[in-house]
Amino acid sequence: MYDKTSIIVAPATTLGQSAIGIIRLSGPIETDKQKQAAILQILFKVFRAKYLSSADLNTNKEREERCCLKPWTLHRGVALDSHGQEIDDVLAVYMPGPRTFTGEDCVEIHCHGSRVILETVLEACLNAGARMALPGEFSYRAFMNGRIDLAQAEAVSELVSASSVQGARLAKAKLDGAFGQRIALLKEKLLSLKAKLCVVLDFSLELSGDELDNVSEAEIKQNIAELETGLKALTKAYQRARAWRDGCMVVLVGSVNAGKSSLMNAMLGRRRSLVHDIPGTTRDYIEESINLNGLNVRLVDTAGLRQTDDLVEADGVEFSRELLSQADYVLFVKDACFDLSEEEKELLLTHPDHILVLNKQDLLDTSRSIVYDACNTKIYISAKKSEGIDTLLDVLHEKLLLKMELGKSFEQNSDLAPNLRQNKLIQAALEELNLFDLDLENKMPIEILSVRIDIILDKLEEIIGKTDLDEVLEKVFGDFCIGK
C-alpha cells in the first residue's frame, strides 16, 4: 500500500492564498550518526540558511554549518527552486525522529502562503529526491511506528473535518488516547473472563460442583453484564457524537405551496430555495446546513406531498417520503388557513419526532378556531415576513438536544465516542457477546465459549489497529487529505 522507505513530501497547509504555507517532509531515521540524515540532504538542496553568504557556497564553512544544523529550531533562510534560484524568504526546522508525529526524521519549510511559491518549493523537493505523499501517509507512518493507534489516527481526520466546536472536542479527546484507553479496559475484562473459563476448563476435575457453578454462573455472568454495559455506552455515545460531528438531519415536509421553501430561506437568512406560487416548484430535495448554538443542523427542503401525473415530480414526492424515514426530526409545514387532511394526520402520527409549523399566520382569520390535535408541538410563523422564526429555531434546538440526549452543554462522557467504522465493530462485538450469553445458558462446551471471546477480542483490536488488516488500513488512511 505505502512505501515506508522513501522520503515523502506534501503541503501541510492548503494550496491557496494565505499568510503562511508549510511544506512537510518525513523520512526514515538515519541510524549512522556519522552520516548526514537523508532528509537533510534534500533540505539543503531547496534551502540555504541566511547566515551563509554566496561566497560560502561549496566551502568547508557551508558543510560545517549543514552538519550541525540545530534540531527543533527555526532557521531563517531562502527557499531555492529546482535550478538553485532564490524564490522566497522562509523558515526551516529539522526534527529528528523518533520524537516526531510520524516517528521519523521530519522537516518543515515555512513559506509565504502563495500557491506559486508552495508549488515551486514542492517541485524542488520532488526533484531533490522526495516523492509526493499519498493521502493519509503521514498519519499512516505515525501509526505504523507506534506513535498513535488506529483510533487516534482516525481522530486526526475527524479533527480536520469537524463542523462544530463539540465535534472538534470529540476528535481531540480521541486523539489524546481516551477512546483507546476505554477499549483497552474492555479488553482487560474480556481477558479476565477468558481466564475464568480457562480455570474451569483446566481444573474442572479438581473443582467441586458448587465451586464450578460459582465460577461459571456468578463471576462469568457479572463479567458479561459489565462488558455489555460498556459496549452499549459506546454505541449510545456514537449517536450523540454523530449529531455533534455530522449534524442532525431535519427534513421539511408538507403539501405543495405550504411554504417549505420560504421557511428554508427564512431559517438560512438568505434565498436558497426557489419560491413561486405555481405548485410543485420544488421537485428535488435541497440540503443546507445551519449552526444552532454550536449544533450543526442539516436542513432538507423536499418536494411537496401530493398526487401528480408529472413523473419527475412524482419521483421527488417519493424521495421525500424516503427522507422522512432518515430524519432525526421533521418540520411538518402546513398552511395555517386550512385543516389537516387525514393523510397529513397519519403522517404526523407515524413520525412522532416532529414540529407542526403553521405558516402564513399573517393571513389567518383570527376569528376562526382551528384545532390541531394530532401533533406534539405546533408553532405559528410567517415565513414570508420572518415572524416566529427565532422561536421555531429555539424550540427545534431544544427538541434535538432532548432526542439525541446531548444535553445543553458538551457532556464529558461523549468524549469516548466511536465513529461509524468503530461503531460497526462494537455492534458486532455486542452481537457476539449475546451469542456467548446464549451459549452459556445452553451449557455449550467451554471451548466454544472461549472461541466467542476470541472473536470479540478481534473486533476490539481491529478498532485500535492491533490486527494486521491491510484493507482496513488502506480504507482508513485513504480517506485522509494529502499532508496528514
459 is in an annotated binding site: no
259 is in an annotated binding site: yes
Q: Please give the sequence-ordered ranges of beta strands (E in DSSP) within 238-396, or none if there are none.
A: 248-254, 286-292, 295-301, 329-335, 354-359, 378-380
**Other C-beta atoms lying within 10 Å of the C-beta of residue 349:** 11
Quote the crossing angle between the two packed helices 137-144 and 150-160, to the nearest 10°. 160
Q: How far apart are CA 208 and CA 435, in angstroms?
A: 27
258 is in an annotated binding site: yes
Q: Are 250 and 295 in contact (CB under 8 A)?
A: no
How far is CA 297 from its chain centroid?
Answer: 16
How far is CA 47 from its chain centroid?
Answer: 37
304 is in an annotated binding site: yes
223 is in an annotated binding site: no
Residue 412 DSSP label: G
Q: What is the DSSP string of 330-363?
A: EEEEEETTSPPPHHHHHHHHH--SEEEEEE-GGG
99 is in an annotated binding site: no
Q: How far apart are CA 411 and CA 244, in angstroms?
A: 11
- For residue 451, give every residue at least 6 positions away whose Cβ sits within 8 Å of its Cβ, in sequence order, or none: none
- For residue 27, give every residue at least 6 positions away whose Cβ sits within 8 Å of its Cβ, in sequence order, or none: 6, 7, 8, 37, 38, 39, 42, 104, 105, 106, 130
194 is in an annotated binding site: no
The sign of the torsion formed by the CA atoms of 189, 191, 197, 198 equals: negative
- For residue 58, give every residue at least 6 positions away whose Cβ sits within 8 Å of its Cβ, in sequence order, or none: none
**Other C-beta atoms lying within 10 Å of the C-beta of residue 31:** 7
Q: How far apart are CA 38 and CA 36, in angstroms?
A: 6
From the number of C-beta atoms within 10 Å of its C-beta (0-12, 13-18, 19+), residue 85 rates as exposed
- For residue 309, give every residue at least 6 positions away whose Cβ sits within 8 Å of its Cβ, in sequence order, or none: none
232 is in an annotated binding site: no
- For residue 453, give every residue at least 6 positions away whose Cβ sits within 8 Å of its Cβ, in sequence order, or none: 190, 193, 194, 197, 436
484 is in an annotated binding site: yes
Backbone angles phi, psi at 254, to 5 degrees: 155, 175
452 is in an annotated binding site: no
108 is in an annotated binding site: yes
229 is in an annotated binding site: no
391 is in an annotated binding site: no
Bind-site residues for GTP: 257-262, 301-304
Bind-site residues: 24, 108, 147, 257-262, 282, 301-304, 484
Bind-site residues for (6S)-5-formyl-5,6,7,8-tetrahydrofolate: 24, 108, 147, 484
Bind-site residues for Mg(2+): 261, 282
